[in-house]
Structure 1
Amino acid sequence: MTRFIFITGGVVSSLGKGLMAAALSALLQARGYSVRIRKFDPYLNVDPGTMSPYQHGEVYVTDDGAETDLDLGHYERFSGVASRQSDNVTSGRVYQDIIAQERRGDFLGATVQVIPHVTDAIKAFAVADTDDLDFVLCEIGGTVGDIESLPFLEAIRQLSADVGRANAVYIHCTLVPYLAAAGELKTKPTQHSVAELRGIGIQPHVLVCRSEHPLPASDRAKIALFCNVAPEAVISALDAESIYGVPLQYHAQGLDVEVLKAFGLPHDAEPDLSRWDDIMERLTQPEGEVTIGVVGKYTGMKDAYKSLTEALVHGGIANRVKVHMKWIDAETFERDDVASILEPMHGILVPGGFGERGSPGKIASVRFARERQVPFFGICFGMQMACIEAARNQAGVEAASSTEFGPTEEPVVGLITEWMSAAGRQTRAAGGDLGGTMRLGAYPAQLTGNSVAASVYGGTTISERHRHRYEVNVNYRERLEANGLIFSGMSPDGLLPEIVERPDHPWFVGVQFHPELKSKPFDPHPLFASFIAAAVKQSRLV
């Protein structure tokens, strides 16, 4: 029987529910259990695919082409379990499905209501494809008291009865603020949050209390008394030196033990946490350091590049070095000298993005990396800018541009309207819907046998995740290759460029996909490991 762990939050948002869920999944795996983690988001967008990175942060893409919440990236990085479309459900998607059913007449004239129709749909999402799992962790977005969260909270209340109360445990994350003027921690916000949750009909089994200072025994006892939990089930959650130390911290606090006790499962044996010990040893005792300049357009919102940030850290773990990231707004280069900012960098990375804003600065960064022989990594939009830079400055195509920026006589990058996927031929119209219409999810690519890419991957057939609407125009391949930019990775039909590189450069690789989405601390993506290795060599030359 699959057991369910429902994770809620109170007092304020951004308490780290997703990170806690990810860490708990790692602890359960370390005890030999199989896990899957799901995120329920109360907002009315069908998915975050059309939301601004400044509002929502990164859009995380799964192998099966779902655009999901960035927390699913945490889930994968800690558990190693590939997320699926069914692992992220929003109110928008729930209501979209229900309204479609109503329009078809599937409800046979019944009045469609939040209870039971919306709550039944949420429960169906929660239990789908879980028969072979030991634990399913379900994180509810938002906080207790949010109007839009109520259907989800009611659904998980009902689920406890549906699966049997012995098979459902509730974890509630709250804030225990420290008031400097009073010189003490305050437990009242946690008490009120739990009281509101209990008013909905949910009694938490475990409380995870986020605070700036350790919870003294007296405060734990007070919270336990007023919130009706055991004192040892009040878990103190302090800031960690690295997010990858969080599983170790939560184990030290007894989180996994308390969860297993709540299920009535054996909990005396120690989990195998050697994987996380090794990761932390590499992070805290590096043998060197490098600085990577990330030239982007959403640098004011670091969560917009969450997976990218972590993949660079993983590259550092693979090479036993500390990676410093210098975030550079691409528009800076439209008014400041490129060389003065990029010369101290040991590597330059141009990430994905949308729209023309910042593109001149990204192109200037590519040129600097090419001419100064600095390791360069272009991802998605970054690869496209590398191709435009080569066309303009080497191949003599001065008007080279992207149709994303407007009409152009030289569309080195253009809108993709037709391509092959595992589901067959896909077509898109220029004026069609924006949501869910990009080339999304895992696609295969064939690599040239003697290329840097093939050497890095250790093979010539790969599969990587995509999220883009524009592609490099293969008709420019001959002119670009004649000037040193080699197309070393192509789609199986030979029509879509996937990887470009420069054999005459220390390390210059552009990829159309997003390798950062598959990188993990215990399994760094080979491209990031190789890029950081090249940056280490560069650091010894500076």
Structure 2
Amino acid sequence: MANSQKKYIFITGGVASSLGKGLAAASIASLLERRGIRINMLKMDPYINVDPGTMSPTQHGEVFVTDDGAETDLDLGHYERFTSLTLSKQSNFTTGQVYLKVIEQEREGKYLGKTVQVVPHVTDEIKRRIHLAADDADILIGEIGGTIGDIESLPYVESIRQFAHDVGQENVLFVHLVLIPYLDAAGELKSKPAQHSVKELRSQGLFPHVIICRSDREIEESIMDKISLFCNVPKENVFQSLDLDSIYKVPLNFHAQGLDEKITQILGIWSSSPKVADLEKVVYNFNNPLREVKIGIVGKYTELVESYKSLDEALKHGALAHQLKLVPVYVDSEEIEKKGADKLLSDVQGVLVPGGFGQRGTEGKIAAIKYARENKMPFFGICLGMQLAIIEYARNICGLSEATSEEFNTGGDHLVHYMEGQTRDGAKGGSMRLGSYDCELLEGSRTKEIYGQKNIQERHRHRLEVNNFYVEKLKENGLIISGRNPELDLVETIEIKDHPFFIACQYHPEFKSRPYAAHPIFSEFIKEADKYGK
């Protein structure tokens, strides 16, 4: 970077939520990083929950876990997948965390008897966290969750307004993402909602430098002219973000429009053109698949894809690595309980049972695992998926017909039990085994062969573990414990011999997969699924 002054890009959204601010932020970051600029990213969430860990996946989508054990917004998954960043708890904060800190400081007498207010105390805490997230970076890309006009987001808008004043307006760039809806009845796109959104933003003291127009179709010049004129933004600073058949096309689409070039111009940064060969290869493989591969994803949140966001993306990465088109088949595990696994899984080439909580639908997942094991169909289990694979094996191979998990609050053999310090009834927020832990892989195991190394680190999010009391009996009956945590002697991975692919792990490998570097287990799972039935 020619200019040594730290720069900041803040991204807001208007008209409606779920427009893709996270993808826009990730795509901008992807291009700037590929220009050789040191970046960092931040998601500011206006909700009052301390973190999304206690929120239902159907409410908020998946919880993304960082190496250092933070439960964060799913947008951080996009940030990591589109860049080389490994994010931390400093990369995401919520109103809940901000108020918690301010109230703690008030109780400790840190405000010297002053009346504690949103301005300056809450806004100062937000600004402090922005500075913290910008450490070790030339540019911080910060995204504010929610929609402009929400009561919840007001302190954040005020904070970034002040922040620009503090660090110098020339060092801050505001990007506003708006919806340009198409009205069927009128047969045309409408710019008025976007104009009102910018008007609302300006009334709060923020003046966007760049506007990105989100639409499901090409936006004609006259609409772009209107946006430029009525929102007081130069025409060359108005860009489109159209619906694309792959999210991995978004950075290249922005680059083709010159968005990254425009950002570097406005911020006075000199940099080279972005190196996008790896992204182009991903897009080429997506556009030119050799054939399809059908994977059955057996879960209880199958009606909402956002619940398994990282998982879905990791499966796509595995398919892209082999130039295949992923066809995900979401199977409700409760439907398997009613109709049988053979009815619902006979058409897929591999079965994946993801993580989850609670007893609902678990017997259907166990039936799916049994079906995959007996039919030599590639099977991959993650977190709860591994625990249920252990229970299925114990019941049907080891003769432990009462095998179950302590989580399900039933009698019988607890092959899966609460870890030390974990209980069913304790405090829920941030209290699980979270973040990156070591795993030592067994010499000669399939899992070690896939990873190509003995010692690995993967991210966890669980309260329960395999009960070591039963491990010898499982091994005597042919189950291979292929990975262990050396410090606590926990079962981390299992596999079955004489099966094309039967691997399950306690950790969540999907969190570390990238489109241009698929996670090795997902890549191998897809490769074996592609062979199934041939």
Moved more, 489-498 or 373-382: 489-498
Q: Which residue of 1 aligns with 2:245?
A: 241
2:73 counterpart of 1:69: yes
2:15 counterpart of 1:11: yes
How many Å separate the matches in 2 of 1:224 and 1:12?
A: 20
2:288 counterpart of 1:294: no
Moved more, 489-498 or 163-172: 489-498
2:506 counterpart of 1:503: no
Deviation string for 1:210-230 (max 9, x for gaps)?
112222222211111111111
Q: Tell me the C-alpha RMSD between the 2 structures.
A: 1.2
The answer to whether the 8 Å contact 1:38/1:87 transfers is yes
2:158 counterpart of 1:164: no
The answer to whether the 8 Å contact 1:2/1:132 transfers is no
Alignment of structure 1 residues 143-542 onto 2, 5 Å: 143-266=147-270, 270-417=273-420, 427-493=421-487, 495-539=489-533, 541=534
2:92 counterpart of 1:88: yes
The answer to whether the 8 Å contact 1:80/1:520 transfers is no
How many Å separate the matches in 1 of 2:100 and 2:476?
A: 51
SS at match of 1:128: helix
How many Å separate the matches in 2 of 1:90 and 1:533?
A: 40
How many Å separate the matches in 2 of 1:344 and 1:145?
A: 47
The answer to whether the 8 Å contact 1:194/1:227 transfers is yes
| Distance change in 2, residues 1:409/1:183 (3 Å) | closer
SS at match of 2:153: helix
SS at match of 1:414: strand
Moved more, 345-354 or 476-485: 476-485
State the TM-score, normalized to the length of structure 1: 0.96
How many Å separate the matches in 1 of 2:221 and 2:431?
A: 53
| Distance change in 2, residues 1:429/1:403 (3 Å) | closer
Deviation string for 1:214-272 (max 9, x for gaps)?
222222111111111110111011001200000011111221122112212347x5322
User: What code does the residue aligned with 1:474 have?
Assistant: N
How many Å separate the matches in 2 of 1:270 and 1:480?
A: 56
| Distance change in 2, residues 1:332/1:429 (3 Å) | closer
Q: Which residue of 2 aligns with 1:78?
A: 82
How far residue 18 of structure 1 moved from its aligned partner, in angstroms, is 0.3
How many Å separate the matches in 2 of 1:353 and 1:212?
A: 33
% identical aligned pairs:
51
Deviation string for 1:141-190 (max 9, x for gaps)?
01111001000000000010111111100000001111222222111111
SS at match of 2:483: strand
How far residue 409 of structure 1 moved from its aligned partner, in angstroms, is 3.3
User: What code does the residue aligned with 1:232 have?
Assistant: E
User: What code does the residue aligned with 1:109 have?
Assistant: G
Q: Which runs of 4+ in 1 moved over 6 A?
A: none
How many Å separate the matches in 2 of 1:345 and 1:145?
A: 46
Moved more, 347-356 or 209-218: 209-218
How many Å separate the matches in 1 of 2:6 and 2:419?
A: 43
How many Å separate the matches in 2 of 1:437 and 1:519?
A: 25
How far residue 429 of structure 1 moved from its aligned partner, in angstroms, is 4.8
Deviation string for 1:460-486 (max 9, x for gaps)?
101000001111111111111122211
Q: Which residue of 2 aligns with 1:58?
A: 62
How far residue 200 of structure 1 moved from its aligned partner, in angstroms, is 0.7
How many Å separate the matches in 2 of 1:494 and 1:215?
A: 57
The answer to whether the 8 Å contact 1:39/1:140 transfers is yes
SS at match of 2:249: helix
2:29 counterpart of 1:33: no
How far residue 430 of structure 1 moved from its aligned partner, in angstroms, is 4.7
Deviation string for 1:277-326 (max 9, x for gaps)?
11100111112221000100110111000000000000011111111110
How many Å separate the matches in 2 of 1:85 and 1:95?
A: 17
2:107 counterpart of 1:103: yes
Gap regions ≥5 residues in structure 1 = 418-426
The answer to whether the 8 Å contact 2:378/2:502 transfers is yes
State the TM-score, normalized to the length of structure 2: 0.97
User: What code does the residue aligned with 1:453 have?
Assistant: T
How far residue 494 of structure 1 moved from its aligned partner, in angstroms, is 5.5
How many Å separate the matches in 1 of 2:401 and 2:505?
A: 23
The answer to whether the 8 Å contact 2:294/2:349 transfers is yes
Deviation string for 1:192-213 (max 9, x for gaps)?
1101111111000000011122
The answer to whether the 8 Å contact 2:416/2:464 transfers is yes
How many Å separate the matches in 1 of 2:484 and 2:208?
A: 52
Deviation string for 1:78-137 (max 9, x for gaps)?
012011001110000100111111111121211111000000000111110524212100
SS at match of 1:80: coil
The answer to whether the 8 Å contact 2:214/2:241 transfers is yes
The answer to whether the 8 Å contact 2:35/2:273 transfers is yes
How many Å separate the matches in 2 of 1:130 and 1:212?
A: 34
How many Å separate the matches in 1 of 2:135 and 2:54?
A: 33
The answer to whether the 8 Å contact 2:133/2:140 transfers is no
How many Å separate the matches in 1 of 2:474 and 2:59?
A: 38
User: What code does the residue aligned with 1:165 have?
Assistant: Q
User: What code does the residue aligned with 1:502 have?
Assistant: I
Moved more, 31-40 or 513-522: 31-40
How many Å separate the matches in 1 of 2:490 and 2:56?
A: 27
Gap regions ≥5 residues in structure 2 = none
How many Å separate the matches in 1 of 2:492 and 2:362?
A: 20
Deviation string for 1:26-70 (max 9, x for gaps)?
111121111111100000000000000110010000000000000
Q: Which residue of 2 aligns with 1:423?
A: none
SS at match of 1:283: helix
How many Å separate the matches in 1 of 2:479 and 2:292?
A: 29
How many Å separate the matches in 2 of 1:330 and 1:255?
A: 44
